[in-house]
Amino acid sequence: MLIILTVGFVCPGLAAVGCSLRDPDRDVRRLFPRSTGYKTTFIAIKERGGQKLLKRIEEKLGDRFEPIYETIDVPYAFYTILQQKEIIGYIHGVNQKGEFGGLQLILATDLAGKILSFYYQRISNPESKKYREPKFTDQFKGLTLADFYFYDPKKGNISDTTNPLSKIENPGQRNDTDFKATLKGLKKNLIIFDEFIGDNRYDEVYERIKANGKRH
């Protein structure tokens, strides 16, 4: 039986939450079969660092936030997954502007922020089945923020052709709008996780890429 604890930010309604799980009990069991419980924490950029933190996150992202989907006071939901008293992973998601409205991108990661699983909780693309197929989403397993720091959301390209992220192709045929939005949203998700939960584990990678002039 899962033990559920909710702590942290209290918001006036679920609509204010950046991207929370629709059915946390079900999703935790599916993504972490060994789990015995989880706790939910809500953290907003406003309470952790305000405009200064927002600017730093945008610099790392390489693009500005979308004001409709990403405001400084929107709390992000983090699900800390437990096996007895041991933390075995995290689940976290973000909203990202897509071609037909907001995408909801959910990641399950290990303690270091390595992707264990990725899925769309919401996508309205006519080719959504192709995006949801494991042969596409499973390609992100094993990637970290270190890989995504080479992705430029503005240009929509990856500066290092040896990067495993560069081998992932758009699953759709209409256009690449939601594909690029997915990459941007996942990069944003991992940056926010690294800032709030990961103790800026990948800052050294970011600074090295920036110093070498290979950022994005």
**Exposure letters 164-175 (e unless 16+ CB within 10 A, then b):** ebeebebbbeee
Q: Classify residue 164: in a domain, yes or no.
A: yes
- Over residues 194-205, the mean pLDDT reads 96
Do the Cβ atoms of 79 and 93 come closer than 8 Å?
Answer: no
Nearest Cα residue to 106 out of 22, 47, 169? 22
Q: Does the pLDDT value for residue 1 go beyond 50?
A: no
Structural domain count, the chain? 1
Instruction: Give 123-153 pLDDT, tens digit per residue.
Output: 999 999 999 999 999 999 999 999 999 999 9
Does residue 52 form part of some domain?
yes
pLDDT in tens, 4-59: 554 433 333 334 347 899 999 999 999 999 999 999 999 999 999 999 999 999 99
Residue pLDDT, tens place only, 59-113: 999 999 988 888 899 999 999 999 999 999 999 999 999 999 999 999 999 999 9
Give 160's pLDDT tier (boundaries 50, 70, 90). confident
Q: Residue 18 is part of which domain span?
A: 3-211
Residue 143 lies in a domain: yes
Average pLDDT, the chain: 90
What are 56's two structure tokens? 């730093």
Residue 81, in any domain of the structure: yes
Quick one: which of 7, 215, 202, 207 has its CA closest to 115?
202
Q: Is residue 46 in some structural domain?
A: yes
Instruction: Kindly state the DSSP code that residue 176 receives in the 8-state scheme.
Output: S
Please tell me which residue, 4 or 189, carries the higher pLDDT value.
189
Report how far residue 147's alpha carbon sits from residue 56's, in angstroms, rounded to the nearest whole number. Answer: 18
3-state SS track over 14-30: HHHCCCCCCCHHHHHHH
Tell me which H or E stretch contains 118: strand 115-122
**pLDDT, position 214:** 52
Residues 6+ apart with CB under 8 A from 214: 150, 159, 160
Classify residue 216: in a domain, yes or no: no
Per-residue confidence (pLDDT) for residue 15, from 0 to 100:
40
